[in-house]
Structure 1
Amino acid sequence: MTTAAAPTRAQVPDVAGQITFAMRSMGVAPIPRNYELFYEAYIGSNPALTRDLAALGSQATQGELDALGAQYFAHSPARVFDDAHGRIAAELETLLRVLRQEQISLESYNKLLGETYKRISSKNHTSVELIENALTLLTEATGDTMAHGERTVENVVQRSQEMDQVRKELDEYKRIANTDSLTRLSNRRAFDDRLSAVFNNPAMRPVTALVLADIDNFKKINDTYGHPVGDKILATVASVIRANVRRDVFVARTGGEEFALIIEGNTSEEVMGTAERIRRTLETTPFTNSRTRVNYGPVTVSVGVCMASYAEDAGELYHKADVALYGAKNSGRNCSVLFEDGMQKDFTKSWLIYKA
C-alpha cells in the first residue's frame, strides 16, 4: 500500500505527537502556524505543499515557513478565528455599552419616581396640584423610558444578529476546513476528531467499528493514466462508499487513496457485511472514459476492520484496523479482514515518508 502506516504506540502515540516530534527534530518552532503546515504535509492531502515543505530542508527559517503558509493558507484557521474574535469582541463591547445606557436610564427613572413620591408626600400643595404634577412627571418619565427601552431592544437584537452571523461564518469555515476538496468527504482533520470521540462513550465501544479501505495498486493507475484520471477514480470510489452506508456513518478520505469509516450501532458481523458490500460494489463498478472509451478498471479495494472494544484509545484502534488492512493486502488484495488477537505488524515508517 502506498499510504504511510500508523506508528506503533511505542514509537509515537498519536498524529499530533508524531508531527510535533518531526518539527522538533527539524528545529522548527512548535507554534500553531508551523503545526498547520506540517499537519497538511503529514496527511498528504496537498502534494504540492508537501513537496515545497520538503524542499526547504532541515534548516528552514521562520520567514520561509511563513511565506509557504501565506501561499497555501490565504484563509488559514488562525487568521479566520482571529478576525472572528475581533468582530465578536467589538459586538460585545457595543452591547455592554447599550446595556450600561439602559441601566443609567432606569436609574434616572427611579430617581424621578422618588421625586414624585416626595411631592405627593408634601403638605405644601393642594391635592389637585399634587396629582397634576405627579401625572406630568410620570407620563414624561415613562414615555422617555419606554422609548429608550425600545431602542435598547433594537440594539440588542441587532448585536445578536451580527454575532449570530459571525457564528454562521465560523461554522461554514469549519465545515470547509474539515472537508476533502476532491471527494467532498470529511478529511483527515475531521477524522482525527471523530475517532477520538469514539472513546467518550464506553458503552458504545462493543458496537462501534473503524473501517479502513485502501485502493489496490493505485500508484500504478496514476503512473499509467495520470493524476487527473486518478483524481476521478478517487471521487468515484468516495461516491460508491457513501452510497453503500447509512447516512449517519462517518466517512472520510484520510490521505492518498485511503478511506476511513466509523460505524456505530452494529455488530462485527454487520460491519463486515457493510465492508463486503462496498468492496463488491466497487469491483463491479465500471471505470471507463465516456469519451475515449478507455477502461481504467477494474478498481478494487482492500479493507481492514477493527471493533473499538479491541482498543484502549484512538491510536490503538487505528493501528489495529491498519493491521487488518495490511492482512488484506497480504492476502491478495480485494478482500476484507477483521482484526483478531494475534495479528501483528511492525511499523517502521514515519511521517517523513511524505518527503520522498
Structure 2
Amino acid sequence: MLVSEHDYQRTLEYSFSALGMLKRAKIPPYPHFYELCYTYASGINEQLNERLNMLLGKDNALSMENVLQVYREFFDNPSDLESQLTNVSQEMSYKIDAVNRAMDEAIDTAEGYSGSLEGAANKLNTKLDEAALQKLAAKLLAETKQMQEANQNLEEKLKVSKQDISSLKRDLDTARRETMLDALTKIPNRKSFDQRLKQEFEAYEQHGKQFSLLMMDIDHFKAFNDNYGHQTGDQVLRLVAMTLKSNIKGRDHAARYGGEEFAAILPDTDIRGARQIADKIRKAVHAKELLKRSTNQKLGRITISIGAAQVHRDESIHELIERADECLYTAKREGRNRVVCETDEVFRNSKVA
C-alpha cells in the first residue's frame, strides 16, 4: 500500500509524541502502553483523550497508574463482571479525586486573589500617586482576569466530571444488576435469591409479613444431557426459566438455585396460594414441547417437581429451605411432575416414617 508523504509525516509525529509521553513519565514503551499513547496523540478517540486529560498531572506527564487504568478501560475490556465492577469503582474513585484536585486548585487561586484584594485595599488607604494607582489597577485587572479563567476552567472540568461520573454510575448499576443474573438463563441467580430471601425473612420477623417458598427441580434432566447433549440441556434450562418468569407476577422472585434446580419466593402468599402458583407453573412447563433446533426433532415434554413451604415463626432461613426441599424430594418419590406442600398428607406421612 502506498502512503503519501503527508500521511507518513503525520504518523511519524504521532509516534514521536507517543514515545515522548512515555519517556517523560519514565514508562517502558511496551506495545500496549505505546498503543495507548499513540491513540492519544492521534486524537482519534475523543473519549479516551478526555479521560486521559483529566488524569494528567500539572506537568502534563503520565503516571504508571494512569496508563494502566486507561488501558484497562479502553483496550482490555474484561468480560468478567466482578472485574467490571472493580474497574468502574476505581474509575469513579479517580473521577472524584480529579474533582477534589480541581476544587483545591480553585481554592488556592481564590485565596491568592483574596490576598491581592486585601493588599490593594490596604494600599488604597494610603496616599497613592496616579502612576501607582494605574499600576495597582492594572495588577488587579490582570489577577481578576486570571481568576475568571480559573473559574471557567473549573466549570469545564466539573461539567466533564459530572458527565463522566453519571456515565460511570450507570455502568456500575448495570454491572451490579448483571452480577445478580444467571448467565445461561438470564433470570436471577443464587446470590440474588439469597439476598431476597433474607429480606423477606427479616420483613416477616419484624412486621409479620407472610411469604412462601417454592423449590423446583427438572425431572430426568440428566437424561436430556446424556441423550441429546449439553446444548439441549441448556435449552431445557432456558425454557424452564422463561416459563417460570412468565408465570409469576408482582413482587414474586424466581431464580436459578443451582444446576437444574429453581426457586421462587412468593411474598404475601400463604401455602394455599403457593400451591395454586406452583401448579400453574408445573402445567405451563408440561405444556411446552421440546424441539431439537437443528432438525426440528420432537424430544418430548419437560416436567418439573415442586415443593412448597410457608415461613413459620421462630425458624431459620435454613429450616425453611430444608422443609421446601423435603417437599420437593417427596414429589420426586411420589412419581414426579407434581406439587407437594408441607400441609399434604403424603408429606406428613413421609416425616412420620
Give me the TM-score of the superposition, normalised by structure 1.
0.65
1:162 corresponds to: 164
- Whether the 8 Å contact between 1:206 and 1:267 is mirrored in structure 2 is no
Q: State whether structure 2 residue 258 is matched by structure 1 residue 278.
A: no
1:118 corresponds to: 122
AA matched with 2:188: S
> Secondary structure of the residue that 1:254 maps to in structure 2?
strand
2:185 corresponds to: 183
More relative contact order, 1 or 2 (CA 8 Å, 6+ apart): 1
Deviation at 1:283, TM superposition (A): 1.8
> Secondary structure of the residue that 1:272 maps to in structure 2?
helix
AA matched with 1:337: V
Deviation at 1:185, TM superposition (A): 1.1
Q: Kindly provide the CA deviation profile for residues 39-67 of structure 1, in whole angstroms up to 9, marking residues without a partner as x.
A: xxxxxxxxxxxxxxxxxxxxxxxxxxxxx
Q: C-alpha separation between the residues in 2 aligned to 1:345 and 1:117?
A: 94
In structure 2, relative to structure 1, the CA distance for the partners of 1:169 and 1:218 (3 Å cut) is: same
Q: Kindly provide the CA deviation profile for residues 207-232 of structure 1, in whole angstroms up to 9, marking residues without a partner as x.
A: 32221111112222322333222221
Deviation at 1:182, TM superposition (A): 2.0
Alignment of 1:308-323 (within 5 A): 308-309=311-312, 312-323=315-326
In structure 2, relative to structure 1, the CA distance for the partners of 1:147 and 1:293 (3 Å cut) is: closer
1:335 corresponds to: 338
Q: State whether structure 2 residue 140 is matched by structure 1 residue 97.
A: no
Q: State whether structure 2 residue 120 is matched by structure 1 residue 108.
A: no
Alignment of 1:130-209 (within 5 A): 139-202=141-204, 203=206, 206-209=209-212
Q: C-alpha separation between the residues in 2 aligned to 1:345 and 1:161?
A: 61
- Whether the 8 Å contact between 2:304 and 2:338 is mirrored in structure 1 is yes
Rg (Cα) greater in structure:
2
Gaps of 5+ in 2: 1-77
In structure 2, relative to structure 1, the CA distance for the partners of 1:86 and 1:182 (3 Å cut) is: closer
In structure 2, relative to structure 1, the CA distance for the partners of 1:83 and 1:182 (3 Å cut) is: closer
> Secondary structure of the residue that 2:290 maps to in structure 1?
coil
> Secondary structure of the residue that 2:262 maps to in structure 1?
strand
Q: C-alpha separation between the residues in 2 aligned to 1:266 and 1:100?
A: 56
Q: C-alpha separation between the residues in 1 aligned to 2:173 and 2:349?
A: 41
Deviation at 1:114, TM superposition (A): 0.8
AA matched with 1:105: T
- Whether the 8 Å contact between 1:205 and 1:308 is mirrored in structure 2 is no
Q: C-alpha separation between the residues in 2 aligned to 1:222 and 1:158?
A: 52
2:10 corresponds to: none
Alignment of 1:1-356 (within 5 A): 75-76=79-80, 79-122=83-126, 124-125=127-128, 139-202=141-204, 203=206, 206-289=209-292, 292=295, 294-309=297-312, 312-340=315-343
- Whether the 8 Å contact between 2:81 and 2:178 is mirrored in structure 1 is no
Deviation at 1:137, TM superposition (A): 5.5
In structure 2, relative to structure 1, the CA distance for the partners of 1:290 and 1:81 (3 Å cut) is: closer
Deviation at 1:308, TM superposition (A): 2.9
Q: C-alpha separation between the residues in 2 aligned to 1:82 and 1:216?
A: 39
Deviation at 1:187, TM superposition (A): 1.7
2:11 corresponds to: none
> Secondary structure of the residue that 2:265 maps to in structure 1?
strand
- Whether the 8 Å contact between 1:116 and 1:134 is mirrored in structure 2 is yes
> Secondary structure of the residue that 1:287 maps to in structure 2?
strand
Q: Note the aligned Cα RMSD (angstroms).
A: 3.2
Q: Kindly provide the CA deviation profile for residues 259-285 of structure 1, in whole angstroms up to 9, marking residues without a partner as x.
A: 111222333322222111111122222
- Whether the 8 Å contact between 1:237 and 1:282 is mirrored in structure 2 is yes
Gaps of 5+ in 1: 1-73, 347-356
- Whether the 8 Å contact between 1:304 and 1:322 is mirrored in structure 2 is yes
AA matched with 2:123: R
1:64 corresponds to: none
Q: C-alpha separation between the residues in 2 aligned to 1:292 and 1:89?
A: 52
Q: C-alpha separation between the residues in 1 aligned to 2:231 and 2:82?
A: 32
Alignment size in residue pairs: 271
Give me the TM-score of the superposition, normalised by structure 2.
0.66
Q: C-alpha separation between the residues in 1 aligned to 2:295 and 2:208?
A: 48
> Secondary structure of the residue that 1:288 maps to in structure 2?
strand
Q: C-alpha separation between the residues in 1 aligned to 2:208 and 2:309?
A: 11
Q: C-alpha separation between the residues in 2 aligned to 1:120 and 1:345?
A: 99
